[in-house]
Amino acid sequence: MLFEIGSTILVGGLTGYAYLKKNGSASNDADKIQKIFANSDWNGVNGETIRIHRKSKFNGGTEYVYQLPLGFDRKKIENGKHILEDGLNIKQKLFDFELSDFFNIKWDKDFLKQLKNILLQKKVVRKEIELKFDGMLRIKVYTESMKDQYDWNESYLRNGTWSVSIGNTRKGVVRHDFDEHKHLIIAGATGYGKSAILKLIVTSLVLQQPDNVNLHLIDLKGGSAFQRFKDLKQTKNFTREPSEAQGILEEIQAEMNQKYTEIVDQGFEDIKESGRKERHFIIIDEAADIADDPGCMDIVTDIARRGRGAGYYLIYATQYPSSQSIPQQTKRNIPSRLCFVLDDATASNTALGQTGAEKLPLIPGRGIYKNVKSQVVQTPYISNGEIKKQTKPHIVIKPRKERETVEPTEREESGSNTFEFEEM
């Protein structure tokens, strides 16, 4: 028996139809995968089919192992991952509930509300897959979706290091070690987590290396992400004005040149070898705003090219790192990328050097982190309140005494009051 529930009653972000089946789905995942292989024409050069070798269960899903025919182009499957994923989700029950959940509904005027509550309480089930090629093709089918949000806590910190948590996978936390991989490009459509991860990176660096990190924060396109860090003792430069960016970048470049000469003159290859502890981070949010300013971009390119030796690391965030918004040479010097969802495969190729970001689910914080290999991650989320709490001990400009008696957040959010600060 099949029930269909019209989408009009699925409010609160739940759309589409819920198909309820009492006795589970019609065919199993192994059959579906085999059908998708056949229908997609994923065969060997002489038409040989992909054959299942082994199937095994693990906690949270099933792994299917296949033998690939000789001469099989694995790109066909890598690029068609979404076809497999969609195929496995077709006609699956969308919600994880039983008919018995509905037995207690009272069929009065509130029945729609009761129904909605049942639907909202239940988790949306979307199977996700992971592909691996190691002579065989391994397809892991996860029966649970990856979590939509991982709240940050102090266990993400690695004090005394330059290794910052960038994302969560099913297997654990992925970190970007700035002393190893240096610069980072962050791309992604508006509203999917660029500024949020920048705030987390800044907070992590301040907490992990309070005495050694130097921040140069450039917040463009009317952004307000870095405003909260401007009074930290680690913040050496802060601006929200494209017109001020060039002056700041020129200063940083001159300082970087001097540091580099000192390090090399002392006979060291780079800052790490020299044993110097300080590092500089030039962090630009909405960088496209200065992209057509050659005065700024020449310096950005120079930092990307030569900054690593002197300990000047660039974090460059933009909606879409096209050749217009980021020079080719800068991109070549920054292999590490974190990319949230993008409009299409071309944008993904431009940002990541591969497709995939266009197929990410529309979940803020869901991205592809590419370093040596690329993996789907959910960036840890830190609230503004938590940032404020964590960074407070590092603030060097303090509000006037009398301000402490009023509720600061209320005044801040109303936007109609001006603050007065005095230097300590």
Ligand X SMILES: Nc1ncnc2c1ncn2[C@@H]1O[C@H](COP(=O)(O)OP(=O)(O)O)[C@@H](O)[C@H]1O
Residue ranges binding ligand X (CB under 6 A) = 149, 188, 190-196, 364-365, 379, 381
Between 84 and 201, name the residue whose CB sits nearer to Mg ion. Answer: 201
Do strands 61-67 and 51-58 pair parallel, antiparallel, or not at all (unpaired)? antiparallel
**Counting contacts by CB under 5 A, is residue 274 touching Mg ion?**
no
Kind and range of the H or E element at 399? strand 397-399
Phi-psi region for residue 336, left (φ > 0), alpha (ψ -120 to 50) or beta? beta
Choose the stretch contacting Mg ion; rule: CB under 5 A; options: 195-203, 232-240, 297-305, 413-421.
195-203
Between 47 and 385, name the residue whose CB sits nearer to ligand X. Answer: 385
Asked whether 233 and 214 are in contact (CB, 8 A), the reply is: no
Between 301 and 379, name the residue whose CB sits nearer to ligand X. Answer: 379
Choose the stretch contacting Mg ion; rule: CB under 5 A; options: 78-86, 116-124, 191-199, 394-402.
191-199
Q: Give the residue nearest to Mg ion (CB).
A: 195
Choose the stretch contacting Mg ion; rule: CB under 5 A; options: 86-94, 98-106, 188-196, 364-372.
188-196
| Binds 42: which of ligand X, Mg ion, none (CB < 5-8 Å by kind) | none
Asked whether 396 and 231 are in contact (CB, 8 A), the reply is: yes
Applying CB under 5 A, which of residues 165, 168, 195, 379 lies at the interface with Mg ion? 195
Q: Where are the beta strands (DSSP E) in 143-278?
A: 150-151, 163-169, 172-177, 184-187, 213-219, 235-239
Choose the stretch contacting Mg ion; rule: CB under 5 A; options: 55-63, 98-106, 189-197, 331-339.
189-197
Q: How many CB atoms lie within 10 A of CB 247?
A: 14
Do strands 136-142 and 61-67 pair parallel, antiparallel, or not at all (unpaired)? antiparallel
**Counting contacts by CB under 5 A, is residue 379 touching Mg ion?**
no
Q: What is the dihedral of CA 80, 85, 87, 90, to 10 degrees?
A: -150
Measured distance CA(198)–CA(186) in Å, rounded: 9
Distance of closest approach, residue 122 Cβ to ligand X, in angstroms: 21
**Counting contacts by CB under 5 A, is residue 319 touching Mg ion?**
no
Between 194 and 240, name the residue whose CB sits nearer to Mg ion. Answer: 194
Binding site for Mg ion (CB under 5 A): 194-195
